[in-house]
Structure 1
Amino acid sequence: MKSAPFAYHRPGSVADAVEVLAAGDAKVLAGGQSLVPVLAMRLGRPGTLVDVTALPELGGLGIADDELRVGAAVRQRRVERDPTTARVPLIGRAMPFVGHRELRSRGTVCGSLAHADPAAELPAVAACVGAIVEVTGPRGDREVAAAELVTGAMTTVVGADELITAVRFPTAGRGEGFGFAEIARRHGDFALAGVAIRVRAVAGAVKDATLAAFGVSDRPVVRDVTDLLAHAVTEPDLRPATDALAADVVDTAGDAHGSTAYRAHLLGVLAARELARAHRQALPGDPS
């Protein structure tokens, strides 16, 4: 299939891009790995594509003030291979599961956040670690907590006249442990269920633990699971609690790939395993 006709605009600055977006009936093009198939299937028919790929303002990747800042034009493959990404371990663990290598070579991190696919890994990772999304529009700049970015399937709080310019991930510190896992029919397919987990410990005790589930609802589902680690820290002991959590979290309808109950089972298993793994990393000397 072919897309409907559209105008193409390559802005010279972020301000120029925002001006075109504010005029209406326009969509941002960065990596295009989600947008182009949507256009080809005519599920979307914007009058103008605003190509921000070459804007130097959006191409930065680096560490500042204990945060990894990823510009909107930065490719996923660059983030995957850049040594600074090691400062945010969950990105390194999640990135190999984001589509296929060829897609990551063109797709952008911010593009994945903006697209807000319910089965996407990066929105869940961002929400789990408390990332901040930078947004600009005709009314100025603002910041959005990643956990509040997605409002539903393929829907975010970013307005049609606004542009995500960057996302900032907090870097990991001492006493932090992480877990990430997903189940898909084939590697690179959409996740049937997945989890991203962060555990923080202070003075030999768990301070807080956060779980973000994806592929099981219309958006990443974030839960404080600190209390679970107060009663159990091994995978078998955690299973009853994570099974109960999964039964509460999973609300997606069943389909040809898996029923609601099957997804809940997968989430319960993954959550227990990765929560135990993150706890061991945060408290490596814990005899339990």
Structure 2
Amino acid sequence: MARWTAADLPDLSGRTVLVTGAGSGIGLVAARELARVGARVTLGVRDVEKGRRAVAGMPGDFDVRHLDVADLRSVRSFAQAWTGPLDILVNNAGVMDVPAARTADGLDVQTATNYTGPFVLTNLLLPYLTDRVVSVTSQLHRRSKLDVDDFDWRARRYRPMKAYQDSKLALVLFSLELQRRLTASGSPVRSVLAHPGIATTSLAAHSSANLVNRFAFLLNDPEHGALPTLYAATQDLPGNAFVGPDGLGGIKGHPAVRRPAKVGLDRSRATALWQATAALTGVGEGAA
């Protein structure tokens, strides 16, 4: 069977897509390719001027807007300003292995960027969504020991890589519970997951693990790293599908539908995390 590439993307003329964190790396590649096949692509980025420079000269219809997913005021402002249908939401923005810090809302910066902010954004944009939500997770979710009662790192000693792993498992559980709620409400919207394997982007380059600098020849480049996101955003997949590279360990390759860690399919844990997140943020209890 031929391996799926961006050349296999369907025509997306008339469709509207939002990609968060699309000013560079995998998000920018995904935005570029979706626009190339006709989608109107909104880039939700912290630095609007950087985002505009990134897409300058690219063919396609781009709209660059300010969005800092770690700042719930920014998330709410962005969602309140949204009008019209949104076919595809790609929760791509993320940070990895960063020092302990708190946002203006008092949230852990890494957890807020990778999970809490996307949770709030998705819930606020649900009334506009027509097709699907794609949440970009990581194979490192498999190493998580997520404490649902302390997912925002208020009681435990903060450990940067553990917080990253936990935030990516939280996204997997979020997708599971979101799909359950969408199905229960009769909504046609799907929640799906994608992970890039390990890609040579700035996200991992500064990590203490330093995998990019030491083993770049074994990893996906950004072009291939974006393929699971593009596949998850455009192909006919069941709700809560998990798409990642087809190579050994899901580190490198072309997109294929795989399975997340067993804990990522724990419905009671997913429901408990949703309820805890809704209580912390004040958003999501009545969603779907």
Taking structure 1 as the reference length, what is the TM-score of the superposition? 0.27
Specify which structure has the higher proportion of helix.
Answer: 2
Larger strand fraction of residues = 1
Larger radius of gyration: 1
Higher relative contact order (CA 8 A, sep 6+): 2
